[in-house]
Amino acid sequence: MLRRRVIPCLDVADGRVVKGVQFVDLVDEGDPAELAARYAAEGADEIVFLDITAAPERRGTLLEVVERTAREVFIPLTVGGGVRSVDEMRAVLRAGADKVALNTAAVADPDLVARCAARFGRQAVVVAIDARARTDGEGWEVLVRGGRDTTGFDALAWAERAAALGAGELLVTSIDRDGTQAGFDIDLLRAISSRVIVPVIASGGAAGPDDFVAAVRDGGADAVLAASIFHRRIHQIADVKAAMAAAGLPIRVSREGVAA
Amino acid sequence: MTRLRVAVADYGAGNLVSIARALEIVGARVTIAADAAALDGADALVVPGVGAAAPAMERLARHGLVEPIREWIVADRLFLGICLGLQLLYDGSDEDGAITLGLLRGRTVALRDAPTLPHIGWNQVDIRRDHPVMAGIPDGADLYFVHSYVAAPIDPETVIAETTHGSRFPSVVAKDRTVGVQFHPERSGRDGIRLLANFVDWAAEPVGRAALPIPARAG
């Protein structure tokens, strides 16, 4: 049976893992390849790098980090942040990423999703959707540029369109919940997962293992992503997986710690 | 002992870093082969790949690799096809009507009744027959899949392992010295690396002994 995935996300700027609030006060947290290897050893099912390098001319450092990670970590690696073209996606894949997450560029140019899927296969294309509940309670709106800009896109309609265009997975982040530790937006997840056949990755709001269980069981998510609770060592990946297993959800029991 | 020389076919833009590095870790000397000349001197050939069959066949043709791959397998030289590299071994693909390598009988068909598509993530590999590449990998081990189409082999004897996502499909196939895996061993943690180590070890063995567990081809 297909396992529900637990995916730690690392924010990377200028080739280093950083931690900060709303992209300010960034603190150097270490080397992405080393942290990715640690998470892999602890049972992560995939790794996501979110590149938040501010200056485009310094993005070359990302490719070096991706390549180093791909050489050391033998679980899937997804890279998101700032990829705007087929050529940029090609460079990231050739460096050793398995998938690329498109966000702002896909909203600006939806056909980019189709072009990337045609070139690399839909399995390599993740569309990341940052969604915020509309104040009138009528659904969710898509935000871009790290949650700073509104778009007028309806999140559910965009999810269906992105899947139809060729997205192989949707990474759905609740901007309302992101960083709040108030739990995932289950209504948002359920609304999207019930409308698309592609796997949905839940993101934004994880506080503890029970939230991961709810995202899968109630939200219909195929995978769950979190950043801060793993970085701050509030919870271990193994704790999350134990809670999921106790709830009857299929998880991968990692054998990474077993000597080869 | 000299290290096994493994050529990894490079005919597109996918991630070759992981498979090349994983093969190095298990002791192989890896050549990235973007043309037929680069296959010279290789002991084994690995064809990775993701995506659709027709563009992959076009790119293989552009790199002059279609006939060399066919000849390689017909000559019963060691071969590992990964994901699309497994599917291309069959006669053709329902995905886009592509005519593929035709080295194994059967077609590539859509994965039926899948609750989610693509089939992305870790899933259990249920071993149906012993094979050297599966040595030490527990029955039901989780390996990493990313695909929407699957092989539908005509010859059931070639199915080494199966996996279920909605419906059951072959996740490891083998005939003589040709092996295909639907999952990505280079992305499947410890058990994936084990499979690659097994492949390299198997490759290093004399042909007669290595061929034992697989039914010999007639003629």
Residues B97-141 have pLDDT tens digits of 999 999 999 999 999 999 999 999 999 999 999 999 999 999 999
CB B151 within 8 A of CB B159: no
Q: What is the pLDDT of residue A100?
A: 96
| Chain-chain contact of B189 with A122 (C-beta, under 8 angstroms) | no
Q: What is the pLDDT of residue B212?
A: 45
Substitution target in A94, A116, A120, A123 with the highest count of B β-carbons within 10 Å is: A123
Mean pLDDT of A120-140: 94
Chains A & B: contacts with CB separation below 8 Å: 119
Residues of A within 8 A of B164 (CB-CB) are 1
Smallest Cβ distance to B186: which of A74, A223, A255? Answer: A74
Q: Rounded to an integer, what distance in angstroms lies between the CA atom of residue B76 and that of residue B33? A: 19
Q: What is the pLDDT of residue A146?
A: 83
Residues A50-78 have pLDDT tens digits of 998 766 667 778 999 999 999 999 999 99
* Residue bearing the bigger pLDDT, A19 or B215: A19
DSSP B105: S
Q: For residue A80, what are the CA distances in angstroms to A47, A50, A102, B77, B217?
A: 11, 5, 6, 40, 47
**Is the pLDDT reported for residue B89 higher than 90?**
yes
Smallest Cβ distance to A120: which of B51, B122, B147? Answer: B51
| Chain-chain contact of B122 with A3 (C-beta, under 8 angstroms) | yes
Substitution target in B8, B10, B11, B18 with the highest count of A β-carbons within 10 Å is: B18
**Is the pLDDT reported for residue A15 higher than 80?**
yes
Give Cα B90 to chain centroid, integer Å.
12
**Is the pLDDT reported for residue B219 higher than 60?**
no
Q: Rounded to an integer, what distance in angstroms lies between the CA atom of residue A231 and that of residue A156? A: 30
Residue type, A35: L
Dihedrals phi, psi of A61, to nearest 5 degrees: -60, -30
Please report which confidence band the pLDDT of residue A109 belongs to, taking 50, 70 and 90 as the band edges: very high
Domains with residue ranges and CATH for chain B: 5-210 (3.40.50.880)
The DSSP bridge pattern shows strands A169-174 and B29-33 to be unpaired
**Is the pLDDT reported for residue B49 higher than 90?**
no
Q: Which of A17-26, A119-128, A249-258, B204-213 has the highest mean pLDDT?
A: A119-128
Domains with residue ranges and CATH for chain A: 5-246 (3.20.20.70)
Q: Whose CA is closest to A43, among A8, A10, A79, A78? A: A8
Q: What is the mean pLDDT of chain A?
A: 92
Q: What is the pLDDT of residue A256?
A: 66
Strand spans (E) along chain A: 5-13, 16-21, 24-30, 47-51, 77-80, 99-102, 125-133, 140-144, 149-154, 169-174, 200-203, 223-226
Q: What is the pLDDT of residue A25?
A: 65
Please report which confidence band the pLDDT of residue A24 belongs to, taking 50, 70 and 90 as the band edges: low
Q: Whose CA is closest to A144, among A156, A133, A129? A: A129
Q: Which of residues 168-207 of B touch A (CB under 8 A)?
A: 184, 186-194
Q: Rounded to an integer, what distance in angstroms lies between the CA atom of residue A197 and that of residue A179? A: 28
What b-and-e string marks burial along A190-222, b requiring 16 or more CB atoms within 10 Å of the CB?
Answer: bbbbeebebbbbbbbbbbbbebbbbbbeebbbb
Which percentage of chain A shows pLDDT scores above 70?
94
Smallest Cβ distance to B116: which of A3, A123, A197? Answer: A197
Mean pLDDT of B82-93: 97
| Chain-chain contact of B121 with A223 (C-beta, under 8 angstroms) | yes
Mean pLDDT of A193-219: 97
**Is the pLDDT reported for residue A232 higher than 90?**
no
Active site residue A45: no
The Cα of B78 is separated from the nearest Cα of chain A by a number of Å equal to 23
Per DSSP, what are the bridge partners of residue A65?
A: none
Q: What is the pLDDT of residue B177?
A: 97
Judged by a CB distance cut-off of 8 A, whether residue B59 touches chain A is: no
Substitution target in A39, A252, A253 with the highest count of B β-carbons within 10 Å is: A252
Tokens 């791909």 belong to A70
Dihedrals phi, psi of A36, to nearest 5 degrees: -65, -40
